[in-house]
Structure 1
Amino acid sequence: MTTTRAMVLRGFDRGFSLEDITLDGPRPDEVLVAIAGAGMCHTDMLPRDPEMGAALAPIVLGHEGSGVVTEVGTAVTGIRPGDHVLLSFASCGACRECLQGGPAYCEEFELRNVSGGYADGSTSAVDAEGQPVRNRWFGQSSFARHAVAAQRDVVVVDPDLPLALLGPLGCGLQTGAGSVLNEMRLAPGQSIAVFGAGPVGLAAVMAAKLAGASDIVVVDLLQSRLEMATELGATRTYQAVTDEVRGMDFSLETTAVEKVVGDAIAVLGRRGKAVLVGVGAGMLTVHPSQLAGRTVTYTLEGGAVPKVFLPRLIEFWRDGRFPFDRLIRTYPLDDIDAAERDSLSGATIKPVLLP
């Protein structure tokens, strides 16, 4: 067992509390990781919904962790104490989708990622009073000094890399870039409209540029984010969709706002494809005739296989073609409430918490 410090959310309307929690030792297929940095993602705010928060609390959130392995389970292979690693989403590794190379569509994805527990409902952490704390948010719960993750969800990286900054690659940046490179397979000369210039949308902009897109349109309410989009490769930016944005080969919708979801379909050309990734309550309402020739899909984690895709993104960064570090602002772990406020206001594109 390991006693560590973690940010615990005990209610949807409460701030995080820094507490001592005790983690069980890693199971045979798990590793214990000393967290170096953890990105804050919009998905980490889902438990702010009263119903979801009531069901999950108390819980340790965080699902874009990076760190150093300190202990490995008895069945772990290919990962050793001292390895620098990224943590990504959880999958079972045994269902049909996982076996066919699609862990993002694992049949147990929801159970293993957004329940806060293992697939059987159990957890492996208790607080100072001995009460259970959910510590399996996306299979890691990395808003802490230590986290446990399954070896299949862990990617070993070069120890010379800036480890504390790499965590966001494991979810938000993977989702944006993967939607372009894996799901759309955008080809040189094609066009894309990106709705929402947060971390996911800006990762898509960078990916579209390196894929050779001829027209990269970005729509967002914040002028500062549109300016960043231009610096990263956008060819046109708008604060609201206009008739000038039409006939696009692809669109990416990151906001889950119902009107914007509709706009993401309306801007497509006759054979265009809309990829939706926004997490929220917005619904898709569309007349069948609007789909004539068009494709609409909802993508999880950019359709990525993390052990394959994250090393690609790192190499793109090393080549100067995926400068994701420009989006990051770091905060001490005990400044988590400020990081959350800045993320919601748009003052910070991608907060990274440093334990």
Structure 2
Amino acid sequence: TMPARWHSHIHSLRAIDPERFAIVNEAAGGTVLEEIEESKAFFEVYDGAVYMYQGRTYLCVKLDLDARVAIVRPADVKYYTAVSDMTEVQVQGGMPSFPAPPAATPPPLDPGVDAKPEEAVHLLSTSATCAPATITMRFLGFKRVWRGSGVVFDRVELFLPDMRFSTDATYIRLPHIVRLSLRDAGLGFRESVHAAAHAVLSVLPLFIMCGSNDVATECDNPYDTRYKPERLLIYDKHPGGIGLCAAAAGLFGQILIRALQLVEACECTSDIGCPCCVQHVSCSQYNTVLSKPGGVLVLQTLIKWEEERAAQTRQLELAREEGA
């Protein structure tokens, strides 16, 4: 017998979220343009949002939260909109990770560079921890920006419900020596950690198959005065997690080293860096509150501290083995 509904009619091949918002074009008789995952919907559609679909511009005229439908109509506007949000990451416990064996995680090579068998693989054992996390996003408003100049000409307040989902996060606590080193160098702590986190995100695809929409970090904004734990953190952007941060935990030492190499190799002279080093295309705060020199110092200090910690741990293990 034929099933009442085919699985292809029930499950989406393009979205992981079970709940999705339908984008309806009111000018085409209510035609559904596409569906957006619930966890991403409020970044793209809200009352007054400029929505792009297949090269055409639409204006969102109504967002029905109960029906999960966004009504849009074609519009020829000379501006785009960008939502402002505040993201809070609450980590719930976790266990320290350990580096994967060299055979399983060969270091990434630059294009055109051949591997040399005699080269030893340097694996840095870190205190990186993978743990369940709850992500809460609060949507504050959106801004209208002229496309030609990038000038913000209007800001509008939004009244949307918080978006909350569970996922996995991998983080490493920053020792106090990091803050002291930044203070002695006259560099801001928030800007520096933000830059270092962006560098980690940029090199992550060298180790794990992922894109900019799969993993995120804690992005700082200039008006946020909340307390934040002193840590370097990344999390899966998909509800429930898809194993990316869990896979990165055991490679975090290599990721830190590669991130430092990336920033040090960049020839830009701007204090806030550039898209080749510490600026990131998916930064939720549009690459504000950044310090390239501070990001370098954070990574250098953290790597050195983790190397010393790993050496001390190894010495204790050897002493314990000799005593046994």
Bucket of the pairwise TM-score, normalised by the shorter protein: under 0.3
Question: Considering only CA atoms, is the larger Rg found in Structure 1 or Structure 2?
Answer: 2
TM-score, L = length of structure 1 = 0.22
TM-score, L = length of structure 2 = 0.24
Give the structure with the higher percent helix: 1
